[in-house]
């Protein structure tokens, strides 16, 4: 990249008096004195002054520094970062959909409501649930919504003693956080060495103060929780409900349904399993499904199909209320629907199987060099505990950084917390055999380098635009505006 633009903020390219755009005049000009004084700016804002070409080059060069699933292999574990087929974007940006106003009369939005309804039904079928709300904006908000449903259910039976939520030690951090935000107390249950929840440790924790048990299946180490039927039985006997964190639904698609396993409430991360883009933290959607009998507690509004085939918005009086504006992230929902309809039932089932096959393929090809703490057939992802040979001092962080030199995104590192040197790999279903083989070859090269020339790995990355930022300082004192930089 040209030095003139490289690593510079647009403010640093600014020169007084340059300009690339002029606002059209508007009818408010000359009427400024009619605006309330205390709302008027006292000084002009500090904006960069650049010509159009400088601006275009600035953003184009910056976008070239970005890495995404459209650029290369992105093997993050836990957060499914799958390819987002372009047909989904096409559907979401159709003028007839993107141009709608949420306050339009429902008589004029029947097509959009029908799409919404079909997605509610499709997710219910995939999850084995009676009904879904699409309103929550993310998995974490889905968890909160689901726990609010569970609270509303217990309260509706006059059972107010249930203030605890049991969460496995392998759980994603959002599980205990959501429970706390829902006003519930978190109790941890430990896992067995094989990564699954310890049923014998769970048993004594279950009593009439437990509202729910939250589980992820396959769990965050990519292992199928084969004891779910037994767990669901003892949880239900104790009067509590089963919550399914659907972030890892991908390998289950068309194979196994949370509803059939005994879960009562679940969420799905559309931006994971259903391929809607979620770079940079958003936007997402975390629809929540419930088994029969819990529908009335779901958030308002829901879309219902009437006998004459038309659709309407329903506000239930027993509902826990509204958790998002209007109907949630509609464009994300449309992308998910497009993905489901373009793959169909067979395609979805194949996606889950291929995700599982690809993960096991990489695991088996590297297990002679990388430490495999849980030696079982995995689902869509698995965890290495760093290199087998610890004598070189090469850490998981070093390996992750060295991968960047080879044009791969790093896997998830130091999560889950069950192991010291966690390196969590999820290839997803869409990667070709060639890409998987190339990744395996590079991982084998890095293991060899760690032995022969460990300094090369420890000092990586060597050829990325930015080499080694100070992670601690970046977290403690983030510089996020031009003013912070100048300060």
Ligand X SMILES: *Cc1c(COP(=O)(O)O)cnc(C)c1O
Q: What is the DSSP letter of 417?
A: T
Q: How far is the CB of 213 from ligand X (least distance, A)?
A: 15
Least distance from ligand X to the Cβ atom of residue 329, Å? 11
Distance from the Cα of residue 320 to its chain's centroid: 24
Judged by beta carbon, residue 79 or residue 91, the one nearer ligand X is: 79
Burial of residue 381 (number of CB atoms within 10 Å: 0-12, 13-18, 19+): buried
Handedness of CA 397, 403, 404, 410 (dihedral sign): negative
Q: Tell me if 146 contacts ligand X by CB under 6 A.
A: no
Least separation, in Å, of the C-beta of 141 and ligand X?
Answer: 7
The CB-of-81 to ligand X minimum distance in angstroms stands at: 10
Distances (CA, A) of 159 to 58, 143, 294, 298, 381: 60, 21, 15, 19, 39
Residues 262-281 that bind ligand X (CB under 6 A): 269
Binding span for ligand X by CB under 6 A among 8-16, 32-40, 134-142, 358-366: 134-142
Cross-strand bridge partners of residue 312:
304
**In the set 134, 140, 148, 418, which binds ligand X (CB under 6 A)?**
140
Site residues for ligand X, window 11-70 (CB under 6 A)? none
List alpha helices for 252-316, DSSP H: 258-261
Q: CB-wise, 145 or 358, nearer to ligand X? A: 145
**Cα 252 to the chain's mean position, in Å?**
17
Site for ligand X in 224-253 (CB under 6 A): 245, 247-248
State the minimum distance, in angstroms, from the CB of residue 271 to ligand X: 6
- Restricted to residues 431-460, the positions that interact with ligand X (CB under 6 A) are none
- What totals of helices (H) and strands (E) does the chain contain, helices first? 15, 12
Q: Is residue 336 part of the contact set for ligand X (CB under 6 A)?
A: no
Alpha-carbon gap, residue 463 to 478, rounded angstroms? 24
Give the side-chain half-sphere CA count within 13 A for 360. Answer: 13
Which CB, 426 or 431, lies closer to ligand X? 426
- What are the distances in angstroms from CA 317 to CA 155, 295, 311, 345? 15, 12, 19, 35
Query: Taking CB under 6 A as the rule, does residue 284 contact ligand X?
Result: yes
Distance CA 211, CA 240 (A): 5
| Footprint on residues 198-217 left by ligand X (CB under 6 A) | 216
Which residue's Cβ has the minimum distance to ligand X?
Answer: 139
Site string for ligand X, 149-188 (x = CB under 6 A): -----------------------x-x--------------
* Binding footprint of ligand X, residue count (CB under 6 A): 15
Piece of the chain touching ligand X by CB under 6 A; list 108-116, 135-143, 304-312, 402-410: 135-143
Interface residue with ligand X, options 139, 251, 386, 461 (CB under 6 A): 139
Q: Which residues partner with 382 through β-bridges?
A: 425
Among 220, 338, 396, 398, binds ligand X (CB under 6 A): 220
Tokens of 130: 């009676």
Of 71-110, which residues contact ligand X (CB under 6 A)?
A: 78-79
Distance of alpha carbon 391 from alpha carbon 240, whole angstroms: 48
- For 119, other C-beta atoms within 10 Å of its C-beta total 24
Read out DSSP for 55-66? Answer: HHHHHHHHHHT-
Query: In this chain, which stretch among 133-141, 196-204, 207-215, 230-238 interacts with ligand X, using CB under 6 A?
Result: 133-141
Are the CB atoms for 408 and 442 separated by under 8 Å?
Answer: yes
Quick check: 286 binds ligand X (CB under 6 A)?
A: yes
* Binding of ligand X by 327 (CB under 6 A): no
- Please report, as ranges, the residues that interact with ligand X according to CB under 6 A: 78-79, 138-140, 172, 174, 216, 220, 245, 247-248, 269, 284, 286
């Amino acid at each position: 990249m040209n030095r003139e633009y490289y690593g510079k903020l647009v403010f640093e390219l600014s020169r007084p008096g340059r300009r690339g755009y002029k606002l059209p005049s508007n009818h408010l000009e000359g009427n400024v004195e009619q605006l309330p004084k205390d709302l008027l700016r006292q000084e002009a804002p500090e904006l960069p002054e650049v010509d159009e070409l400088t601006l275009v080059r600035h953003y184009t060069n910056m976008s070239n520094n970005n890495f995404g699933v459209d650029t290369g292999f992105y093997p993050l574990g836990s957060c499914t970062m799958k390819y987002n087929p372009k047909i989904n974007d096409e559907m979401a940006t159709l003028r007839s959909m993107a141009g709608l106003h949420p306050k339009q009369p429902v008589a004029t939005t029947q097509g959009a409501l029908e799409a919404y309804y079909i997605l509610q039904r499709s997710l219910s079928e995939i999850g084995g649930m009676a009904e879904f709300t699409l309103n929550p904006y993310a998995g974490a908000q889905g968890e909160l919504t689901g726990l609010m449903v569970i609270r509303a259910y217990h309260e509706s039976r006059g059972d107010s003693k249930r203030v605890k939520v049991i969460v496995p030690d392998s759980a994603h951090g959002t599980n205990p956080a959501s429970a706390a935000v829902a006003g519930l107390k978190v109790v941890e249950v430990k896992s067995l060495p094989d990564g699954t929840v310890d049923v014998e440790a769970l048993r004594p924790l279950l009593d009439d103060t437990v509202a729910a048990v939250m589980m992820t299946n396959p769990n965050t180490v990519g292992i199928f929780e084969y004891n779910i039927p037994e767990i669901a039985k003892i949880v239900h006997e104790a009067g509590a409900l089963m919550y399914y964190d659907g972030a890892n639904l991908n390998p289950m698609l068309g194979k196994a349904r949370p509803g059939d396993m005994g879960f009562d409430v679940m969420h799905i991360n559309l931006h994971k399993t259903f391929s809607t883009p979620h770079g940079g933290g958003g936007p997402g959607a975390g629809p929540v499904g419930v088994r029969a009998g819990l529908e009335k507690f779901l958030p308002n509004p829901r879309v219902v199909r009437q006998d004459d085939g038309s659709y309407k918005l329903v506000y239930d009086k027993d509902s826990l209320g509204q958790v998002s504006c209007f109907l949630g992230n509609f464009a994300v929902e449309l992308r998910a629907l497009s993905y489901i309809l373009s793959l169909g039932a067979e395609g979805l089932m194949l996606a889950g199987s291929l995700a599982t096959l690809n993960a096991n393929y990489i695991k088996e090809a590297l297990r002679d060099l990388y430490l495999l703490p849980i030696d079982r057939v995995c689902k869509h992802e698995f965890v290495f505990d760093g290199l087998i040979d610890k004598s070189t001092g090469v850490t998981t962080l070093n390996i992750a950084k060295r991968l960047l030199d080879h044009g791969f995104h790093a896997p998830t590192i130091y999560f889950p917390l069950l192991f010291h040197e966690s390196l969590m790999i999820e290839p997803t279903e869409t990667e070709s055999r060639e890409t998987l083989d190339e990744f395996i070859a590079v991982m084998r090269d890095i293991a060899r380098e760690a032995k022969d020339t460990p300094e090369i790995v420890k000092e990586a990355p060597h050829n990325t635009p930015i080499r080694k930022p100070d992670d601690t300082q970046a977290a403690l004192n983030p510089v996020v505006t031009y003013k912070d930089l100048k300060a």
